[in-house]
Structure 1
Amino acid sequence: MTALLLIASSPGAGCAQEPSKSVANAPSFLRLFRQVGDFPLGAATSRLDYQSLDPATGRLYIAGMGAGKLLAFDIEYDRLASSLNGYPKVTGVLAVPDLHKVYASVPGAGLIPSLSVALGMVGLSSGRGAIAITDTRTLREVARLPGGVFPDGITFDPKDRKIFVSDELGSAVLVIDADSNRLIARIAPGGEVGNVRYDPITAKVYAPIQSQNELAVIDPARLQVVARHPLLGGKHPHGLAIAPDQAIGYVACDGNDRLLTVDLATGKVLDHQP
């Protein structure tokens, strides 16, 4: 059985107060968080991938990758609210409350068939992947666009009202007009693309380039790569998270199990763990 494990911050986590003896001796993860629930997401055990919370509706959207489903979990009533079929090998998920939409990356047929279609093709249709767009008010799909070879991470630029999707094995970043649900551009950053994130401080889109150990910087207005920063100390960078209001990025490198801290304005690697 697949289940959702809910974790909350422990009382006083990050504060200056003296921790209790039991908390102080606990592993670092347990000192910061505590389990508040364990809820079923279906009868069968299945692989999950990305998650995205929509605070406006109180739903947590989860990529049911193994089952090919988009799951909607109600965080107020702690129950599975909906299980949507038709999302084979779904990976990335992003809820955008301002648009009343949730986006899902759907690789679909899988790597080998998608690559066979992609060979020799250029432009926006270079594989069998898809990007599904669902109305969060009705949970009905409103559009499904070409997603390249293996669509993965998704981010939203509210300033330019564009959605950016990393086509990991298609070595591209796809761009969608958020209002019209149209695919408007395909950007080639020069290698396999990991996750993709928009930073409002620098007003740029960032994408780790796995095959080059670089962080690509995209200007969302010009739809061009404007800089490439070497990720020194990292190997095969894939994950990316951005600290709010700090222009700091955290890059997860799955090739050597290392987390890099990067100054997004300069591209300098500030720290790495371990």
Structure 2
Amino acid sequence: MRRFFVLCVFIAGAIVARAESPGYLVFVSNERSADVTVIDGATDAVITTFPVGKRPRGIHATPDGKRLFVTLSGSPRLAPGVDENRAPADKRADGLGVIDAAAHKLIDRWHVGSDPEQFALSKDGKFAFIANEDDASASIVDLDSGQSRGKVKVSEEPEGVGVNPSNGEVYVTCEEKGEVFAIDVDAQRVIAKIETGGRPRSVAFLPDGSRAYVACE
């Protein structure tokens, strides 16, 4: 199996999962077309594109590279200022999609969270921490069982998620009020709120966990 690690970046509305070693694959979630594209990293050739469900967004691989996870949302894409109540969401489509990395296909979908946006994995790859955009919360999901292990309330429009590599604390960016919340996963509670202004979208840590950097729109 080709080995890869995942780095999530926004490129023309897609999110890219990239690999570091020769012979790597790139997995791109395509929010508008409801599928994932697999690209040969050495040749830039498209290998395949396969359906995964409505509005695939965040995408990450497990440390062993055998599975990928992608957040799926049944909430419609709306222009700024449009009343969400005029376009009801398909909550049956919300969830975390499970992808077989070798077979290049969706093998399961777990109904965890509401309108899931971005997410991050724990260092050991056992848990996912998911931002639920329309629920002002973050879910903790067991990746062995596919079951939710808890939910922590944050603020409106949670978006980006990052895990501090030094202590496992989870940071969630919330766009509406320009805030970032730090979560103690074991206690399942917010331990700090940081005001950033703007619309914080994503968060990334230094390798030693001493600093977090937040991109604001």
Under TM normalisation by the shorter chain, which class is it? 0.7 to 0.9
8 Å CA contact retained: 2:53, 2:93 = no
Q: In the superposition, relative to structure 1, how do residues 222 and 127 fare at CA in structure 2: closer, same or farther (>3 Å)?
A: farther
Distance 1:228 1:114 in 2: 33
Does residue 1:78 correspond to 2:38, yes or no?
Answer: no
Name the SS of the counterpart of 1:226 in structure 2. Answer: strand
Map of 1:105-120 to 2, 5 A cutoff? 105-110=71-76, 112=84, 116=88
Matched, 1:252 2:192: no
Q: Is this contact kept in 2: 1:160–1:220, CA < 8 A? A: no
Q: Distance in 2 between matches of 1:205 and 1:195?
A: 10
Q: What is the aligned partner in structure 2 of residue 240 from structure 1?
A: 203
Please report how far the alpha carbon of residue 191 of structure 1 lies from its aligned counterpart in structure 2 after TM superposition.
2.5
Alignment-derived partner of residue 148 in structure 2: 183
1:142 aligns with 2:111: no
Q: Judging changes above 3 Å, is the alpha-carbon distance between structure 1 residues 235 and 182 closer, same or farther for their aligned structure 2 residues?
A: same
- Give the drift of 1:216: 0.4
* Aligned pair partner of 1:98 in 39, 60, 64: 64
In structure 1, how many angstroms separate the alpha carbons of the residues matched to 2:105 and 2:154? Answer: 33
> Partner of 2:64: helix, strand, or coil?
helix
Deviations 1:216-253 (A, max 9, x none): 0111222222221222xx21212222222243211111
RMSD: 2.6
Task: Work out whether 1:205 is the aligned partner of 2:175.
Answer: no
**Identity across aligned pairs (percent)?**
18
CA contact (8 A) 1:71 1:83 kept: yes
Q: Between Structure 1 and Structure 2, whose CA radius of gyration is higher?
A: 1
**Contact residue 137 and residue 154 of structure 2 kept, 8 A:** yes
Q: 1:87 to 1:160 in 2, by over 3 A?
A: closer
Structure 1 residue runs of 4 or more that deviate by more than 3 Å after TM superposition: 54-57, 111-118
Contact 1:51/1:94 (8 A) holds in 2: no
What's the CA shift for 1:109? 4.8
SS at match of 2:26: strand
Secondary structure of 1:196's aligned partner? strand
- Compared with structure 1, are the counterparts of its residues 203 and 148 closer, same or farther at alpha carbon in structure 2 (3 Å cutoff)? closer
Q: For the structure 1 residues 109 and 216, does the alpha-carbon distance in structure 2 shift closer, same or farther, using more than 3 Å as the test?
A: closer
Match of 1:50 in 2: 15
Whose relative contact order is higher, 1 or 2, with alpha carbons under 8 Å and at least 6 apart?
Answer: 2
Greater helix percent: which structure? 1
> Scaled by the length of structure 1, what TM-score is found?
0.64
Q: Residue in 1 aligned with 2:127?
A: 162
Between the aligned partners of 1:221 and 1:204, the Cα distance in structure 2 is 9
